[in-house]
Each structure stands twice: as structure tokens, then as C-alpha cells.
A and B are shown apart, each in its own frame.
Chain A
Amino acid sequence: MTDGVNGVAFGVFVFLFLLVTVLGFAAARWRRAPTLDSLDEWGLGGRRFGTFIAWFLIGGDLYTAYTFIAVPATLYAGSVVGFFAIPYGIIAYPMIFVFLPRLWSVSHRHGYVTPADFVQGRYDSRPLALAVALTGILATMPYIALQLVGMQVVLEVMGVTAPGDSWIVKDLPLFIAFGFLAAYTYSAGMRAPALIAFVKDTLIYVVIIVAVLYIPHQLGGWGHVFDAANDSFASFNKENADAIAAGQAQPRGMIPPETAQWAYASLALGSALALFMYPHSVTGVLSTRSRSVIRRNAALLPAYSVLLGLLALLGFVAIAAGVKVANPQQSVPQLFEEQFSPWFAGVAFAAIVIGALVPAAIMSIAAANLWTRNIYKAFINRGATPKQEAQQSKAVSLLVKVGALVFVLALSKDFAINLQLLGGVWILQTFPAIVVGLYTRWLHRTALLVGWAVGMGYGTWLAYGVASPTKAHFGGPLVLFPGTETKVYIALVAFLANIAVAVVLTVVLRALQVAEGVDQTRPQDYHADEGDPGVEARVGEVEVGTS
């Protein structure tokens, strides 16, 4: 890393980066609508992406650059629990298959752009909708920041940092990359990440397939890779036996110890439940053309999980190849630099950096839509026109990105990672209002709000109390399940408390006959599909308002 920049690698990298920048700006003209001045157009790409585009878009959205950096890093560091990303990816899709077509239908019928729009329409509760919107924004911000962390890692390994000590100068390349991203997201909206996702995913697939075939072959086969990783962990455990016994270091291993099985399963389940509560995944799903597009993609998107699994194993490959880095996140980029010829290393670096742009764009659009629909329109300017809504969202998408940039550069990276950990805990607390609400209105709106508050508070407090060998607070995602000696994912514990409170309070509130508001939706709205009245009418039109 300390050696200078390789000219060939850098040249290829810059070429590919400029290519997607041109695509990003050209996206405004792609599948052109009469105007981009509405959230349906700017914020959801016209709501008419088919199976093919949606596959690239949602895949590029969910499997972020940070994931591609962080998951192999955990395996490199001998903490195989990080491989939970694979079962997480498996169980998320059956859930998407079952729940999201209903959300899609009702959202199209009523012109909902965000999950909080749905909560407002269903429960007739502005505080509850606000809670859902704020949780979404809060959970998304650090996620965007982490995409920057992913980009930063790659730029560091490439040696691309401007000379100088101040953080503003040092991270100039990051500023430039993010500036372009902000500009074309502003002008083309959701169409920009959709178009860029083609390039990004093609590059990622090529790089990973080459990497998992070529590099292990050079090293003597996969069997040798696993043996080398195992030996390395065994000798680490032996050398650090005292520290491990004293709790100052974590033992390493290639498969999870029996004590970590609950942790592994609960991380997978909690993350899968939380996945489609994230505003950016809802935004991706709502931009599709029909219910079938979502279901078909639930069967096709796992291809990305195979990719992620193989990529994760590159953490072991890096060990076998003798990659030595202090920051485990640099292990895979460093592996690419050492093993690939310079031009292909350039392709690999570009793939990861461009891979950060797609989710960052969609996340900032999603956060901006939440702001516009559920804070600006709900509380500040209730008579906002579709055009004003689009203008708000565009401006806020810029603000969100600047915020993320300041976050990562001025504050510590650890802070972003802590918040991202909390983001997963927080966003799961909106599950009862959104998913249960898709089926029944039995849970009372006030009970949902209190349950949400309890889940948020309890989850945050639990996370604060987790210490690790290197940190006093927010040391990891696991706590002992109350009353047991078994470690599980914090988000699930808080979620159970949330549900319990919501159910008990609902019984009480129903007994007291507290008003439950007026439901805007009808049962048939949850079945509407492309071509039904109210669904097709929106395509290409400017009007947004609720019907």
C-alpha cells in the first residue's frame, strides 16, 4: 500500500469510472418521461422497471460495496460468524416473495412512495408514520457513510491519496467521486443507479469469477486454501492462548464454535427481517413494474448470494496467499493488487468503487423521499405539489450525501460502523407497523408506536452495554439473551420486546375502545397489479396525490 500508484491500474480505474459518470448523466434521457418533476419519476424511475433491470438494480442495491469489503474481512480476521451473510441472503428471499407484492400493490393503488406513506394511510396516525420515517432516515445515513468507507479502503490500497495531511486534501479523490455521484443522482434520480448497476454488476461478476477460479488455482487449489487458513488460525490461538483465556482476544476458527450457533442463526434471521424494512430496499422494489417482477426476482436474486459467498471466502484466500494487512478490510483489495496483473486489478478496484455508488445513490434517494413525503409534506407544506416534492427530494438527496461525507471524514470511521450496527437494530423495530400492517389492522396504532419506542430504547441500551477487547461500548451485535447464557443478535431481542408491548397494549386499548383511525386502504388494494385502474394511470403522469 505504501508503494506508489500503478499507472496501468489507475488508468483502467479512471476510464471505467468516467464511463459510469457519463452513463449516470445520460440516464436522465433513458426511458424518457415527459418530465422528471415528480417522485414517481425522479424517486422511483417511473415505477416500470422489468425483471431484467430490477435484478441488476435490486442486486446492486442490497449487495453493497461495504458488504463486499466487510464480509471477507471478517473471515480474514478469523471470525467466521461473518459468513451469516449467506443464510441471511437465503431466508430474505422467501420473505420478499410473500410480503413485498402486497406492499407493492397497495403502494401503487395509493401512490405511496415510502413505507411511512403506507403506515400513514393504513393507520391514520401521523406520529407513527413520522416514527417510521425518522427510523428509516436514521438507519440509512450511516449505511451511506459506510459505502464511503468501502471506497476509501480501495483508494488507499491503490495508493490514490492526494499529498498532504489535512483530511480535506487527503481525501480529495473521494470528494470528486462523490461529487459526480451527487450531480447525476440530482439530475436523473433513480434512473442513474439503474443504468449504472448494469456496468457495476457485470464488472463485479467478472472480477469475482476470475478471482475464485484463478487465484486459488495459483495457490494450489481450494483444499490448500482452507488448510492454510486453518493452520493460521490454530497457530494464532496457540500463540495467544493466555490472552484468549483472559478474554482479551477472540479465538479464531474456520467454522463457528457450538456456542456461536445461536448467534449465527439470530444474526441471519434478524438481518433478513430488517432487510426489506430499509427504505432503499423498499424504494428498489417499488420501482418495479408488476408483482411478478418482484416474485421472479426473489427466485433470481440469490445468484448474488453465491457471489457474496465466494467473495467472502477470498478472506481465506488472502491468508493462504500471505497477504498481511493491519486493517482486515484491506485484505481483499490487497489480494487483488498482489495477484492480478495491473490492468485487471484496475478493473477490480473500479468494480468495488462503482459498487459503492449504486447503493449510495438509491439510499440517498430513499432517505430524501422519506423526508419529503413524511416530514416536509406531512408537517411543513401540506399542499406541496408533485413538482415541489421532487425539488425537495433532489435537494435533500444532496444534503444527505454531504452529511455522509462529513460523517466519515470528520468523525471517526468507528462511529459510522457503530451507527450502522444500531441502524439494523432500529430499522427492525418498524417491522410490526409495516409487515403486520400488510395483513391486519389488529395491532392498535398507539400500541405500535409505544412498542416501537420500547424496541428502539431497549435495543440502543443493549448495544451500548456491549464491550469488546478494543471498545468499551457498541463492541458488537450480540448480547446474552435475558435469563440465559446464549448470545443472540440484539435486534431480535429488542424486536421481541417491541412485539410483546404492542400486543399487550393493543388488548388494553381495544378494551378501552380507544379510537383507531380510518383505514384508507381496501382489501382488494393488496392484490392490484399492473393494468388495474389506479396502477397504470400513474405511469408517465405527473399527478401523485393519494386516491
Chain B
Amino acid sequence: MSSRGRWVLIGLLLAPAVILPLWVPLYDRATPELWGFPFFFWFQFALIVGAVVLTGSAFLLAQVADRDGRVRHGLPPVPDGTGTDRKAGDDR
């Protein structure tokens, strides 16, 4: 997968964690209840759990994407304490 592809995938993984909590009409109601909790409350707790799973997956992808980003900008893939510029003409 290309570096750009990986970042798009990371974006897709993280997007629901931003969009769903902001889409209030989706969960602004009392039913169905779960263990006595109105829907409004238990759904938001479920969103937290969902966001954790998504962010965790994005973390694994970002580890690889970061390595690509480093190489593209003239850094060694993994920090090794050697020289900085591996690539000439790295201005902008």
C-alpha cells in the first residue's frame, strides 16, 4: 500500500470517531434502554469503546506510514542517530 493510501485509511478509521459523536440527532433519545440506561447515555459510552478500537487500529497503521514519511523526507526509516539529510534538495 502506498503511503498516501495508508493515510487515507487512517483518516477513514478515525472519521467515525469524530463524526458520530457530533451527529447528535442520531442518539438524542431515551429508548431503547440497556440495563436501565437511556439510549442517549449508553450509546455514548459505546462510542467511547468504538473510538478506542478505531484509534488503536489507526495506531498500528500509522507506525508504518510514519516510516514512509521519514524516508520521503530524507530521514532514515528508523531513527539511528546518524546524519539527518539523506536526500538532497529537501526544502519544501
Contact = CB atoms under 8 A, between A and B. Distances in A.
Specify whether A and B are partners: yes
B40 A255 contact: yes
A222 interface: yes
A325 B48 CA distance: 31
Interface string A335-350: 0000000000000000
B15 to A, nearest CB: 8
> Chain A at the B interface: mostly helix, strand, loop or mixed?
helix
Contact of B74 (A221, A223, A303, A524): A524
B32 interface: no
A457 interface: no
Contact of A298 (B23, B55, B92): B55
Interface residues of B, number: 49
B55 A93 contact: yes
11 contacts: A86-B21, A87-B22, A90-B51, A91-B17, A91-B22, A254-B38, A269-B22, A302-B52, A309-B48, A524-B90, A527-B75
A162 to B, nearest CB: 41
B36 A224 contact: yes
Given A254-B30, A302-B52, A306-B48, A533 B83 contact: yes
Please list the 9 inter-chain residue pairs (A to B) with the smallest Cβ-Cβ separation, ordered nearest first: A223-B36, A531-B79, A87-B21, A524-B73, A94-B14, A222-B36, A299-B55, A261-B24, A255-B40
Interface string A487-527: 00000000000000000000000000000000000111011
A418 interface: no
Nearest to B21: A87
Interface of A: 83, 86-87, 89-91, 93-95, 97-98, 101, 221-226, 254-256, 258, 261-262, 264-265, 268-269, 291-292, 295-296, 298-300, 302-303, 305-306, 309, 313, 522-524, 526-536
A91 B59 contact: no
B55 to A, nearest CB: 4
Nearest to B25: A261
A318 to B, nearest CB: 16
A265 B51 CA distance: 17
A223 B84 contact: no
Interface of B: 10, 14, 17-18, 21-25, 28-30, 33, 35-38, 40-41, 44-45, 47-48, 51-52, 54-56, 58-59, 62-63, 66, 69-70, 73-75, 78-85, 90-92
B30 A530 contact: no
B77 to A, nearest CB: 11
A97 B48 contact: no
A292 B83 CA distance: 22
Given A90-B47, A97-B14, A299-B56, A268 B21 contact: yes
Contacts of A534: 84
A528 B79 CA distance: 8
Nearest to B7: A98
A291 B75 CA distance: 15
Contacts of A528: 75, 79
A223 B24 contact: no
Contacts of B21: 86-87, 90-91, 265, 268
Contact of A299 (B25, B52, B82): B52
Given A255-B28, A524-B70, 17 more contacts: A90-B17, A90-B44, A94-B54, A97-B14, A97-B58, A101-B66, A225-B36, A254-B40, A268-B21, A269-B22, A299-B59, A302-B51, A302-B52, A302-B55, A528-B75, A531-B79, A532-B75
A302 B48 contact: yes
A536 B47 contact: no
A51 to B, nearest CB: 11
A222 B38 CA distance: 10
Contacts of A83: 41, 44
A179 to B, nearest CB: 38
Contacts of B47: 87, 90
B90 A221 contact: no
Nearest to A221: B36
A528 B74 CA distance: 10
Contact of B70 (A269, A300, A527, A533): A527
Q: Which of A97, A221, A291, A534 has the most CB of B within 10 A?
A: A97
A265 B84 CA distance: 44
B44 A306 contact: no
Contact of A527 (B17, B44, B73): B73
Nearest to B73: A524
A313 B41 contact: yes
A530 to B, nearest CB: 6
Contacts of B69: 527
B30 to A, nearest CB: 6
A388 to B, nearest CB: 30
Given A87-B47, A90-B17, A94-B14, A524 B84 contact: yes
A535 B82 CA distance: 12
A532 B81 contact: yes
A529 B37 contact: no
Contacts of B62: 97, 295
Contacts of A529: 66, 70, 79
B22 to A, nearest CB: 5
Given A256-B28, A531-B81, A523 B45 contact: no
Q: Which of A313, A528, A532, A536 is the most central at the interface, judged by chain B CB atoms within 10 Å of its CB?
A: A532
Given A91-B17, A261-B24, A255 B38 contact: yes
Contacts of B83: 533
